[in-house]
Amino acid sequence: MNTKTLSVASIAQLLTAEHTRHQNTINLIASENYATAETRAPLASIAGTKYAEGYPGRRYYAGCAVVDEIERIAQQALLDLFVPKELQAEYHANVQPHAGSSANLAVYNGLLKPGDTILSMSLAHGGHLTHGHAVNLSGKTYAIVSYGVDPDTGLLNYDEIERLAQLHKPKLIIAGATAYSRTIDFARFGTIARSANAFLLADIAHIAGLIAGGCHPTPVGHADIITSTTHKTLRGPRGAFILCKKDLGGKVDLSIMPGTQGGPFMHAIAARAVAFLLAQEQSFGDYAKTVCSTAATLAHELQSRGYHIVSGGTDNHLFLVDLSKTPGLETLSGKEAEQLLEQAGIVLNRNAIPGDTRPPLTTSGIRIGLAAMVTRGAKPADMAQLATFIDTVLRRRETPTTGIDIRAFAHRFTVPA
Ligand code: DSN
């Protein structure tokens, strides 16, 4: 890096370049989305100046009257989004977590003691780092028992999860994944947790927007605590929230502040409020349904070209392609596929497939998500073309110079300014 690049102007130029990169490429990263300009506006607002440790009406700083109102709106909008009116008195909303990992850490810190047992999905089968992976604070602090998917079907085996819950009597069970393409049966998880006398945490980071949009069953009524990021299918700003049963609200609040965080980011809370309100509109429900139908169509189009999709398809916004079981591509790693596709203008991530024999930085799979491209206007009818692009690049193992125009396709779907 030379001194010329260490300038304010170079950051502005790089941000323009990042926008151009998005516009020139097809974004299939399952955890990304494009928040609307309305949602992003508060992020640059003066609310970011305000220190407001504490909660509305009980802050450790003066001058919080306005941000108190913002946070109360965010809390109520979150309840309205996920909890039916008649149940709202039983629930508590915390909109302060800076990220999904902060939300999960705060739940563990608030409800568990070091050494307590957590039953959660292993990262290798589609769980999340913060659900107890050995290198994460969660795995270092708690006794982790992992469940995975059935090796033949790629589906969660609820009987096996129940067996593990009865055997290990965890204090907490986590339902939630980053790479599971099928509907999660939160009702069954609730029954399993109650029979084991465990708390149930539903981490809905990937599917929050689908739940809000009415195309995935809700964990409300089944889980004691719900955590989520706000920027994936929910299409908000970066950040997170916790929804929990009222009797756990005090512990959760104290565990966020002062337990694991200091001052909340009031500009981010304002942006979360906008996202929670926009997600209540009919158009958001239509968006969520289109995400699911578009993902299902792309999975089907790839299957018809010989690709092995883990679990045979998708009910949500994402799916995993198992290259090791795709005839003709068995020797192609997820890393090589990711790189070939990026060179061609298709951006996604390599991902371990359940039972992967390759190391995590290499993998035998790729993960494909449609939330971002559907925000840009993609529809099921566009998926045959996209499947042909992916297939052509992976089978030729190079970017074709003739016959396909990925950049022109990407430009049909405008990235929000
Ligand atoms: N690692 C993120 C994902 O891509 O799913 C979740 O935090």
Please, which pLDDT band fits residue 45 given cuts at 50, 70 and 90?
very high
pLDDT at site 154: 96
Same domain, 237 and 365: no
Q: How many CB atoms lie within 10 A of CB 377?
A: 11
Nearest to 82 by CA among 200, 242, 192: 242
pLDDT, tens digit (0-9, with 9 covering 90-100), for 340-357:
999 999 999 999 999 999
Asked which of 220, 246, 278 is the last residue of a domain, the reply is 278
Handedness of CA 227, 232, 234, 237 (dihedral sign): positive
| Whether 303 and 229 share a structural domain | no
Distance of alpha carbon 20 from the chain centroid: 24
Q: Residue 205: which domain range?
A: 41-278
295 with 271, same domain? Answer: no
On whether residue 8 sits in a domain, the answer given is no
Query: Length of the chain, please?
Result: 417
Q: What is the number of domains present in the chain?
A: 2
Q: Residue 4 pLDDT > 70, yes or no?
A: no
Instruction: Compute, in angstroms, the gap from residue 31 CA to the centroid of ligand 1.
Output: 6
Q: Answer yes or no: do 247 and 331 share one domain.
A: no
Within a domain: 18: no
Question: What's the 128 CA to ligand 1 centre distance in angstroms?
Answer: 7
Give how far Cα 238 sits from Cα of 38, 101, 256, 317, Å: 14, 12, 17, 18
Do 389 and 333 lie in one domain? The reply is yes
Same domain for 304 and 264?
A: no
Same domain for 184 and 257? yes
How many angstroms separate the alpha carbon of residue 103 from the centre of ligand 1? 14
Q: Residue 354: CB partners within 8 Å, gap ≥ 6? A: 124, 125, 126, 148, 149, 151, 154, 310
CATH code (residue 343): 3.90.1150.10
Q: Is residue 33 part of a domain?
A: no
Same domain, 170 and 232: yes
Q: Is the pLDDT of residue 31 over 70?
A: yes
Cβ of residue 100 lying under 6 Å from some atom of ligand 1: yes
Domain shared by 312 and 348, yes or no: yes
Contact between 74 and 272 under an 8 Å Cβ cutoff? The reply is yes
Q: Would 25 be classed as within a structural domain?
A: no
Ligand 1 pocket check: which of 104, 121, 128, 228 to mutate, most ligand atoms within 8 Å of Cβ? Answer: 128
Write out the two tokens for 96.
């302060």
Average pLDDT over residues 228-252: 98
Whole-number pLDDT of residue 335: 98
Closest CA to 126 of 157, 145, 148: 148
Quickly tell me which residue has 């300038």 as its tokens.
7
Does residue 248 lie in a domain region? Answer: yes
Residue nearest atom 3 of ligand 1, based on CA coordinates: 31
368 and 310 together in one domain: yes
Q: Is 130 in the pocket of ligand 1 (CB under 6 A)?
A: no
Mention every residue, 6+ apart, whose C-beta is less than 8 A from residue 344.
389, 393, 399, 400, 406
Dihedral, CA atoms, 333, 338, 339, 341, nearest 10 degrees? 120
Instruction: For residue 14, name the pLDDT band (cuts at 50, 70, 90).
Output: very high
Q: Are residues 271 and 293 in the same domain?
A: no
Q: What is the pLDDT of residue 3?
A: 64
Is the pLDDT reported for residue 89 higher than 70?
A: yes
Q: What is the CATH number of the domain that holds 216?
A: 3.40.640.10
Domain boundary among 219, 246, 278: 278
Asked if 191 and 330 count as a contact pair (C-beta separation under 8 A), the reply is no
> What CA–CA distances, in Å, run from 192 to 186, 187, 207, 222?
10, 9, 21, 10
Inter-CA distances, 31 with 27, 59, 180, 206, 326, Å: 10, 33, 12, 7, 24
- The pTM for the full model equals 0.97
Assess whether pLDDT exceeds 90 at residue 265: yes
Ranges 3-17, 216-230, 289-303, 361-375: which has the least confidence: 3-17
Cα 180 to ligand 1 centre (Å): 12
User: pLDDT tier at 1 (50, 70, 90 boundaries)?
Assistant: low
Q: Are residues 308 and 270 in the same domain?
A: no
d(CA 397, CA 379): 27
Q: Which of 28, 29, 31, 238 gets mutated to test ligand 1 (max ligand atoms within 8 A of its CB)?
A: 31
Neighbours of 237 (CB within 10 A): 23
pLDDT value for 176: 98
Ligand 1 mutation pick, 27, 178, 181, 366, max ligand atoms within 8 A of CB: 178
The answer to whether position 416 is within a domain reads: no
Whether 24 is in a domain gets the answer: no
Query: With a 6 A CB cut-off, is 218 part of the ligand 1 pocket?
Result: no
Write down which residue in 254, 278, 302 finishes a domain. 278
Q: Which of 216, 209, 222, 223 is nearest to 276 (CA)?
A: 209
Percent share of the chain, pLDDT over 70:
99
Give the Cα separation of 332 and 328 in Å (integer): 9
d(CA 164, CA 144): 11
Residue 35 lies in a domain: no
pLDDT at 398: 84
Task: Please spell the DSSP secondary structure of 69-103, one letter per residue.
Answer: HHHHHHHHHHHHHHS-GGGGGGEEEE---SSHHHH
pLDDT value at residue 210: 98
Amino acid present at 116: D
